[in-house]
Chains A and B, each alone.
Chain A
Amino acid sequence: MANNTKSGEFQRQQNKEEMKKQLISFATMILFTILAFLIVGSGIMSKMFAIPLLLVLALIQVAFQFYYFMHMKDKGHEMVSVMIYGGVWAAILTVAALSLVIWW
């Protein structure tokens, strides 16, 4: 029993560390969101520059969601990664087709 509580203590500590990382990623996501809204709201950037930047900010946020909030960085997520990246690949093809090879 004592052993259990000890490992439980260790586990709690681990979870706490993990939570700290989650908070940092949350802060970053909020920051990026504010940045994205500022770019558009202030209108300081040209379209050519703003759109790629907005997409990059979104991608980083999404990576935080997947890897930290949804724990895709942890062990035991290999098959999960395969399927998510498969979905992302199919998604890229779909979006590319519908935005590039649409014939008017």
Chain B
Amino acid sequence: MSHDHSLNPEVMPQHPEKATLEGKNKFLGLWFFLGGETVLFASLFGTYLALKNSTAGGPTSQDLFGLELVFLMTMLLLTSSLTSVYAMYHMKNNDFKKMQLWLGITGLLGIAFLGCEIYEFYHYIHEFGFTFRSSAFGSAFYALVGFHGGHVLFGLCWLSAIMIRNAKRGLNLYNAPKFNTFSLYWHFIDVVWVFIFTVVYLMGKVA
């Protein structure tokens, strides 16, 4: 059982998330995955840009988008990015309780964001009859924004799984990499959102 001891050292190292080989592997693996995700979202952005004017007589981006809701969503997600930075700050200081607290806030902000997005989609469908099937623009819009929303949802499930699993036993070298990879993933979701609100909503409104 020597390894159990080595995963719970008396003094936590400076970077608990990268203290073990598994931790280093997870760290690098997730980053590389994000490199691939970049291309995944680029393909969706490209498709959207190619089809954004193909409204087939349906509502256009200028008819649809309201900046207030998008601004609110942006603030929610940007703030959740900062709160997960706080969580990682407390992880490095080996303060498990505060880390959980900030991760919890991150999760709540994520849920609020997702709620806004569901409301937004509902609004488009019922007020404008703008659906996934109504035009190529609709397909491309829901595919891009929906893929992002799916990533948020997956992130929230992931977050709750690791928070609940580790709630009782505190931080160790086995779970620190998991929290860290989650936070990297969460930041990346925010990066994608920055491009979505710029390219889809703002540029769609300006056009």
Contact = CB atoms under 8 A, between A and B. Distances in A.
A63 B18 CA distance: 23
B interface, size bucket: 35 or more
Given A54-B202, A58-B198, A84-B38, A99 B46 contact: yes
A8 to B, nearest CB: 7
Determine the main DSSP class of B at the interface with A.
helix
A23 B79 CA distance: 11
A79 B34 CA distance: 13
Contacts of A99: 46, 49-50
B93 A15 contact: yes
Contacts of B78: 26, 29-30, 33
Contacts of B205: 40
A55 B38 CA distance: 17
Contacts of A33: 71, 74-75, 78, 197
Interface string B13-55: 0100010000000001001101111110111011101100000
Given A11-B93, A26-B78, 7 more contacts: A15-B93, A47-B206, A66-B187, A69-B81, A69-B85, A95-B42, A98-B50
19 contacts: A11-B93, A36-B197, A37-B202, A41-B67, A57-B198, A65-B190, A65-B191, A65-B194, A69-B85, A70-B187, A76-B18, A80-B31, A84-B38, A87-B35, A87-B38, A95-B45, A98-B46, A98-B47, A99-B46
Interface of B: 11, 14, 18, 28, 31-32, 34-39, 41-43, 45-47, 49-50, 67, 70-71, 74-75, 78, 81-82, 85-86, 89, 92-93, 184, 187-188, 190-191, 194-195, 197-199, 202-203, 205-207
